[in-house]
């Protein structure tokens, strides 16, 4: 391209191949150094795929003489595209076009359409809903909001799958699509929607891709210009490509073969929207000369998390992830009586993690559907912890952020020179007009804390820019914010992330809570075919692999405090320690120390399910923690009910590490002490023979409400359970226990 520096000049100004590729592991280097032709990179979760493709692109520019403007890198989100551009700029390789499919298509249409069609490009409608409502009206249909959302999703699937209205009913049936509205009615609505759009002279997001593909396919001069501009293509997340996107990609590529695709078939989670992993899996067949490289070294997660992920998808040899990170704590399995109990237990653990030094922004709660977020918003907010809901209002659209951007731009335009020295202090001074101060507020509502965190995120961006570029001033900062707004590249807000599993893809946190893991929710009750169930399993895999160190998997046996009719997700059957024999289930059948434990209220000979490790949180939550070793022998090790570490000595008697925070119910502790004293007097024995102070403290922290929960507490064996179990359960429930009787002689 004219105006581009030559290879020698670029090499002089940028790192050489040796420096670039020396930073990669052997598999990453093989992918980055593969010839300029078809390349397929099968990149498992956490294996550094973005690092690999950015080094490949930089290597192409620096060492192979490719002009940066000749490379088009395509991703699926503006955030991912922005990250690609940012990394390449930092490597001294600006100018590479990194865009989403839709962004690249829109740019090409805006350039070519006036000449192709003899008029301006039709207006883009970002939402289908208004035109869907008009189309439904023409058919005398009155769908409610939920039905309208489902019908819109069906039209999107059809267009992404290149299915015309006339073919919808037949192909939807062949694809196992299930809709509340008859397929023939959906087809008629689809046709009416297309008619409404044509009459209004507007296009939707799928039309951008359809028009781009048709324009290149039907006009040779357009194809020649596009293909001469973009000579090398890179496609990220290729497992999520749908038929329409593949058609556009083939139009861009033409007869050439300089195409590098990156993806992970285990992370295909958008089949419901038309995505298909077959384009990734069939790539070597379509391109017999392709270089195929598999990245398996997981640099993100601990061996404990990686091992669970491998078992979840039953990874075959050669496809299993290999953990490169050091050991961490075992995954925690949390079973609760109700959804409210589950949310409270999760909030309690989040507070513990934050108290032990994990920033709130490095913690996430992930769930299957948006409706699950409400309980966690309430519980986490009640715990005094800031949070943000991913997929809600966009960061740069929040009122306080909009106001801050307006103030920053106004300050840049003003002639005021009476400002603090340094960019960070200048920005803090400007934000002060919104009553923001650098000191975190110790009180205030959840909304007020969220507003403070949002403005604090802007201030941290200024601090980061000043650290990178000490000479940067307000002009550079405002320019960076403008770029972030354009590409929806939001800063990190110091709060716990609440997100659906789908929205969490591509992200990672130090601690991840996977919640609501029951059959009917994951997998969804609507998932019935083998492929639909397999996709739900892959969705859980995506959730597991978001965790760097701490992973908690939880479920509730009842929706509220009603009948415990739910069962844990079937995907956990072969993973939970109790089922794999890693840690004997307390009270489980056949396990050492379990042997049909029973007590008041338990039928004779029945065992209990659930795991080892002590009660977690309150309200009847129980937990299991993987031991990280072979089959358990004898009684399982006592583990801290807060952090999961193995305990010995006095700490084992308490059931908690000395440094982990407790949550003692003081009133219950006093009731237990009074009952113990009365019982000791009646039975003529020392109080410690009944229960030690450590056991009373553990009871007051865990508040067991059932026999299985009671026997998980250190210091309570079969004899103590038989003698005092019912009395303890009565005390926890606030009832008066029966009068103690003398021990048999």
Question: Is 44 among the annotated ligand-binding positions?
Answer: yes
Phi/psi at 298 (nearest 5 deg)? -90, 110
Tokens of 187: 């087809």
Beta strands in 184-320 (DSSP E): 202-203, 232-235, 259-263, 291-295, 297-298
Contact 63, 11 (CB under 8 A): yes
Helix axis angle for 49-64 and 78-90, nearest 10°, is: 50
Q: Of all helices (H) and strands (E), which one includes residue 173?
A: helix 168-174
Specify which residues 551 forms β-bridges with.
512
Question: Is 43 among the annotated ligand-binding positions?
Answer: yes
Question: Is 49 among the annotated ligand-binding positions?
Answer: yes
- Long-range pairs of 210-214 with CB within 8 A, sequence gap ≥ 24: 210/159, 210/244, 211/105, 211/109, 211/113, 212/105, 212/108, 212/109, 212/248, 212/251, 213/244, 213/247, 213/248, 213/251
Measure Cα distances from 524 to 519, 623, 698 in Å. Answer: 7, 24, 37
* Interatomic CA distance for residues 738 and 434, integer angstroms: 62
Phi/psi at 106 (nearest 5 deg)? -60, -40
Contact 619, 335 (CB under 8 A): no
Select from 380, 387, 461, 398 the least CA-distant residue to 427: 461
Q: Of all helices (H) and strands (E), which one includes residue 42?
A: strand 39-43
Q: Of all helices (H) and strands (E), which one includes residue 316?
A: none
Question: Is 47 among the annotated ligand-binding positions?
Answer: yes
* Interatomic CA distance for residues 587 and 622, integer angstroms: 12
Q: DSSP state, 618?
A: S
Specify which residues 620 forms β-bridges with.
none
Beta strands in 517-652 (DSSP E): 547-558, 622-625
Contact 269, 539 (CB under 8 A): yes
* Interatomic CA distance for residues 447 and 274, integer angstroms: 38
**H-type helices in 243-314, by residue range?**
243-253, 278-281, 283-286, 303-312
Tokens of 37: 């032709």
Binding-site residues for ATP: 43-50
Binding-site residues: 43-50
């Amino acid at each position: 391209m004219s105006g581009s520096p030559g290879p020698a000049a670029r090499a002089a100004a940028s790192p050489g191949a040796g420096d670039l590729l020396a930073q990669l592991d052997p598999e990453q280097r093989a992918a980055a150094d593969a010839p300029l032709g078809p390349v397929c990179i099968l990149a498992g979760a956490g294996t550094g795929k973005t690092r690999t493709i950015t080094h490949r692109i930089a290597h192409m520019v620096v060492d192979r003489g490719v002009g940066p403007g000749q490379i088009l890198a395509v991703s699926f989100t503006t955030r991912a595209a922005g990250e690609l551009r940012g990394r390449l700029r930092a490597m001294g390789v600006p100018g590479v076009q990194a865009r989403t499919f839709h962004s690249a298509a829109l740019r090409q249409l805006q350039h070519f359409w006036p000449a192709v069609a003899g008029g301006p490009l039709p207006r883009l409608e970002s939402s289908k809903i208004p035109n869907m409502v008009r189309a439904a009206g023409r058919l005398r249909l009155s769908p409610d909001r939920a039905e309208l959302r489902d019908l819109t999703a069906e039209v999107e699937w059809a267009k992404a799958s290149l299915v015309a209205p006339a073919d919808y009913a037949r192909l939807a049936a062949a694809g196992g699509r299930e809709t509340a509205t008859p397929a023939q009615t959906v087809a008629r609505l689809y046709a009416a929607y297309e008619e409404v759009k044509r009459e209004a002279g507007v296009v939707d997001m799928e039309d951008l891709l359809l028009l781009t593909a048709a324009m290149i396919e039907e006009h040779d001069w357009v194809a020649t210009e596009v293909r001469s501009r973009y000579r090398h293509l890179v496609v990220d997340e290729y497992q999520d490509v749908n038929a329409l996107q593949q058609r556009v990609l083939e139009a861009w590529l033409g007869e050439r073969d300089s195409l590098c695709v990156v993806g992970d078939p285990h992370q295909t989670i958008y089949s419901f929207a038309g995505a298909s992993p077959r384009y990734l899996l069939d790539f070597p067949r379509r391109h017999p000369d392709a270089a195929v490289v598999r990245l398996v070294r997981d640099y993100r997660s601990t061996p404990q998390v990686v091992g669970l992920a491998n078992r979840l998808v039953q990874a075959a040899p050669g496809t299993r992830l290999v953990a490169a990170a050091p050991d961490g704590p075992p995954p925690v399995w949390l079973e609760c009586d109700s959804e409210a109990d589950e949310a409270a237990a999760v909030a309690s653990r989040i507070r513990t993690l934050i108290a032990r030094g994990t920033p709130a922004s490095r913690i996430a709660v992930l769930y299957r559907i948006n409706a699950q977020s409400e309980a966690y918003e309430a519980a986490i907010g009640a715990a005094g912890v800031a949070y943000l809901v991913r997929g809600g209002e966009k960061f740069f659209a929040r009122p306080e952020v909009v106001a801050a951007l307006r103030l920053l731009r106004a300050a840049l335009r003003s002639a005021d020179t009476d400002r603090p020295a340094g960019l960070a202090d200048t920005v803090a001074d400007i934000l002060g007009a919104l009553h923001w101060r650098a000191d975190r507020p110790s009180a205030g509502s959840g909304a007020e804390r969220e507003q403070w965190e949002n403005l604090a995120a802007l201030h941290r961006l200024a601090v980061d820019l000043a650290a990178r570029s000490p000479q940067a001033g307000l002009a550079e900062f405002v320019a960076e914010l403008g770029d972030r707004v354009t590409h929806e590249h939001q800063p990190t807000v110091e709060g716990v992330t609440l997100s659906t599993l789908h929205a969490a893809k591509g992200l990672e946190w130090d601690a991840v809570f996977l919640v609501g893991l029951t059959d009917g929710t994951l997998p969804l009750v609507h998932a019935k075919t083998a492929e639909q169930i397999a996709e739900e399993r892959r969705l859980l895999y995506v959730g597991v692999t978001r965790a760097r160190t701490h992973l908690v998997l939880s479920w509730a046996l009842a929706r509220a405090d009603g009948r415990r009719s739910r069962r844990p997700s079937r995907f956990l059957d072969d993973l939970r320690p109790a089922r794999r024999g890693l840690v004997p289930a307390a009270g489980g059948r056949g396990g050492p120390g379990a042997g049909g434990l029973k007590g008041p209220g338990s039928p004779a000979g029945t065992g209990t399910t659930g795991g080892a490790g002590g009660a977690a949180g309150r309200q009847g939550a129980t937990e299991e923690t993987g031991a990280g070793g072979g089959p358990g022998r004898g009684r399982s090790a006592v583990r801290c009910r807060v952090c999961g570490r193995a305990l010995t000595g006095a700490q084992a008697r308490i059931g908690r590490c000395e440094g982990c925070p407790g949550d003692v119910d003081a009133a219950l502790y006093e009731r237990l002490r009074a009952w113990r004293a009365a019982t000791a007097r009646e039975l003529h024995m020392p109080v410690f023979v009944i229960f030690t102070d450590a056991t009373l403290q553990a009871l007051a922290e865990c508040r067991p409400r059932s026999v299985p929960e009671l026997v998980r507490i250190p210091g309570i064996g079969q004899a103590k359970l038989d003698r005092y179990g019912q009395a303890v359960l009565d005390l926890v429930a606030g009832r008066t226990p029966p009068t103690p009787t003398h021990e048999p002689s």
